[in-house]
Structure 1
Amino acid sequence: MTDDKHRHTLLVVDDGPENLRLMHELLHRDYQLRVASSGANALAIAQRTAPDLILLDVMMPDMDGYEVCRRLQANPLTRDVPVLFLTAKQQAEDQQYGLDLGAVDYLSKPLEPTVLLARVRSQLRLKLAADQLRQRNADLDQEVAQRTSELQAVHDVTILALASLAETRDNETGNHLRRTQNYVRALAYKLRELPRFAAVLDDESIELLYKSAPLHDIGKVGIPDHILLKPGRFEPHEFEVMKHHPRLGYAALVKAEELLGMPVPFLRIAKEIALYHHEKWDGSGYPEGLSGEAIPLSARLMAIADVYDAVISRRVYKPEMPHAKAVAIIREGCGTHFDPQVVQAFLSLEQEFQDIAQRYADTDETLQAKQQLLTTAQPRLSA
């Protein structure tokens, strides 16, 4: 006897008292035993105690061993417990039937004690190995999930860090990034209610849109300070320089993808948004003058999100404007600046847009920090 054997619990199922006494005599010194005289009782004990091995008689009244095995296999709590059939039925087809149900072995009555003990030991060793393998797989799954979560967190932080880099160099605030990405996600969820958008706006695509949206103005890092940080309106020649930021952002993201050496789904959408979010439905936008559905859907969503937020938000150079004013501007731009269907989605989401704007509203401290940035930058602007 070993301590290992005492850890094993065997469930013996037989409707014959003499058979149960015999099994008890053969096994009780080496194993912890549970006994059941019916199939129903066996199922209850198996679910309650999770034995390491079940020795199961086939021919029993009410519920035979085959049905017990079938139910054990169907129950997630007991499907991994090995079943060893004990029966006087010795036909090959009977044995095959039992093995097909999921039994691991088949012993014929009358039992030979040495063979029974050898088969029990063998099945318990296999059970131990299978349990260890399952545990190892579970540990690996948990480790993979944790690593995946960590990589996703790094991925998200990297996006926000890049977006924040651009934000520190212009008049926008970090909350502008949060507001616009939430506007875009709300629009996407609304649009996918329409059959024509349902296929392209699945959960994964919307999540990529949400996470890519903060990179829409990443190209502003390439605009000279004396233009980017100008507190008033741009002169025509200054605006022409500003109009380069979509291409600069796109080029930066293309370079990032090249360095990775493989295409990345979120960068594909980020490139679309960065390059095309200033295009207009009627073709009068920039940088390529695309029109209609030639403009990627991601950029058409961002166009409304960006304009709405620009209108309602305070800036160091302008006061905030009311929600109604932003709605009027977007409604007026329907079919010229904006995709009409995206406008309709926006109009049905007015309250949600207002809720997002309030949730991520800029504080006085945030605006003061931006003012300080501009003040600090003035020596550079005049240099």
Structure 2
Amino acid sequence: MQSSMGKATVLVVDDTPDNIELIKNILNQEYRVKAATNGQQALKVSRSNNKPDIILLDIMMPDMNGYEVCRKLKSDPLTMHIPVMFISAKTELQDEALGFELGAVDYITKPISPMLVKARVRAQLALVNQHRELEVLVKSRTHELEKTRLEIIQRLGIAAAYKDNETALHVTRMSLFTKLLAERYGANKEWVELVHLAAPMHDIGKIGIPDNILLKPGKLDKDEWEIMKLHSQYGAKILGNHDFPLLRMATDIALYHHEKWDGSGYPKGLIGDSIPLAARMAAIADVYDAVTTARPYKEAWPEDRAIKLLEDGAGAHFDPELVKLFLSCLPDIRKVQSQHAEKHSAHE
């Protein structure tokens, strides 16, 4: 974050050292300039503790082009708020349009004008500071409205639990597990709170599954299982397509929390980090709570067996890095389990 006392940090990403040197010479009097010569290096620097305030990104790079770098930056809560400016020799209108579609704030074509680069960088950093000030003002004025809306959303998550063999406490525990994982991941406070409040909605689509299937005591047959799998799509339809960040995240979790890292999940067979991060986190939290909690049809697994399930599923069912982070949260997870343990009656 830009310091009021020091220089803002600009990250220049280009596979040509001469281009990096040129931009450094233009900006280094006003800003602290860092450089990366490929996409992976750019992502690493952007996710570090000393994040850049703005990124100047080339498009035509080997291995990972600038468009893919931008997509990854904008899909990660650690980096999604960093403004990205493309600086590229690609001059077609469709190239520029794609850059803005991916979330860039500006697009400058080569050969560059030093004065133009300075002016555009200065303008974007000023907008970032203005946006931060406005966010504080808006949050203070909408606090009560947010509290009401969030309470309604949490109640919907509990409503889905009443329809299933789960309990309201399952919803509470798994959402707190997801929050712990997001905090350990290093996401900002706003994103952590969003995933905490969106996670209870993961199974809202089960409202649309017939009771004879949802509550069947025995194993589902092939046709019944195909109907059961539709709950992820039903959940997305119930939540709808909205501009509210919380509902967008809740929709992602509801739709994708049964996707698997290796592409064998449903409903779309997404692979790896193409699965939304919030859904990957919720999947781990949901499974861990499900297996460690007793139900009328099963006993609770001991912790070591549940840990082995996650470790064995890392890289197949689950995001392997998130599994490591989740297991590092075990002391806090145990506290949640103790504070929100099941009682004799369901739906506390």
* TM-score, shorter chain, exceeding 0.5: yes
Shift of 1:358: 1.6
Aligned residues: 212
Answering whether residue 239 of structure 2 is matched by residue 239 of structure 1, we say no
Shift of 1:165: 1.6
Shift of 1:152: 2.0
Q: Which of the residues 297, 303, 328 maps onto 1:348?
A: 328
**1:175 alignment partner AA:** L
Q: Which of the residues 148, 155, 161 maps onto 1:154?
A: 148
Answering whether residue 346 of structure 2 is matched by residue 363 of structure 1, we say no
Work out the CA distance in 1 between the residues paired with 2:142 and 2:268: 38
Work out the CA distance in 1 between the residues paired with 2:291 and 2:248: 28
Work out the CA distance in 2 between the residues paired with 1:252 and 1:208: 18
Match of 2:306 in 1: 326
**2:154 alignment partner AA:** L
Work out the CA distance in 2 between the residues paired with 1:151 and 1:231: 42
**1:337 alignment partner AA:** H
Normalising by structure 2, report the TM-score: 0.58
**2:270 alignment partner AA:** L
Work out the CA distance in 2 between the residues paired with 1:365 and 1:238: 28
Matches within 5 A, 1:1-383: 145=140, 148-192=142-186, 201-254=187-240, 257=242, 263-366=243-346
Work out the CA distance in 1 between the residues paired with 2:156 and 2:336: 23
Please say if residues 187 and 346 of structure 1, whose CA atoms lie closer than 8 Å, have aligned partners that are also in contact.
Answer: yes
Q: Give the match's secondary structure for 1:283.
A: coil
Aligned identity (percent) is 44
Shift of 1:168: 1.0
**1:253 alignment partner AA:** L
Shift of 1:232: 2.6
Over 6 Å off, 4+ runs: none
Please say if residues 232 and 317 of structure 1, whose CA atoms lie closer than 8 Å, have aligned partners that are also in contact.
Answer: no
Work out the CA distance in 2 between the residues paired with 1:312 and 1:225: 25
Q: How far does the alpha carbon of each residue in 1:294-340 deviate from its partner, in whole angstroms, 9 at most, with x for none?
A: 00100110110011011001112111111111101000001000101
Work out the CA distance in 2 between the residues paired with 1:230 and 1:210: 30
Q: How far does the alpha carbon of each residue in 1:130-178 deviate from its partner, in whole angstroms, 9 at most, with x for none?
A: xxxxxxxxxxx99x95x73331221122112211221111001000111
Normalising by structure 1, report the TM-score: 0.53
Question: What stretches of structure 2 of length at least 5 have no aligned partner?
Answer: 1-135
Work out the CA distance in 2 between the residues paired with 1:353 and 1:232: 30
Question: What stretches of structure 1 of length at least 5 have no aligned partner?
Answer: 1-140, 193-200, 258-262, 370-383
